[in-house]
Amino acid sequence: MHSYDEPVYLISVVATMLNIHPQTLRQYEREGLVEPSRTQGRMRLYSQRDIDRMKLILRLTRQMGVNLAGVDIVLQLKEQIDQMQKEIDQLREELSKVNRNGSVHMSKALVTKNAYDIIIFEE
């Protein structure tokens, strides 16, 4: 079994899996929508993550009528949301640790009163 990010699929296999022409995959690469890995001989290899990304691209273009420029914007926003979600998860974990320990380090103090947040930073 291969990991989600391990590049193992050739362009012909991916094109068959997604029922698209290999030239479409090359166009997505030219547009910067997907970046397959390359072998020493410069053959494209795709991971399962790449395939899932292309499925999203196909859904946006075929079912929702989004052009490739719009797809690029959607993918960038999705990456930003994913990054923000990771930060939220990390902050929740920190808050959980603080709640267990019962104290807050001065550099991370946050006091909520009414509708305002007061953040205190160490100088």
Mean pLDDT (the chain) is: 86
**Strand pairing report for 44-46 and 37-38:** antiparallel
The pLDDT assigned to 1 comes to: 73
Q: Check whether residue 6 and residue 58 sit in a common domain.
A: yes
- What number is the average pLDDT over the span 89-117? 68
SS3 category, 50: helix
Residues 46 and 9 sit within 8 Å (Cβ to Cβ) = yes
Q: Check whether residue 80 and residue 51 sit in a common domain.
A: no
Q: Check whether residue 75 and residue 43 sit in a common domain.
A: no
pLDDT tens digits for range 11-68: 999 999 999 999 999 999 999 999 999 999 999 999 999 999 999 999 999 999 999 9
Q: How confident is the model at residue 105 (pLDDT cuts 50, 70, 90)?
A: low
| Domain with 110 in it | 67-123
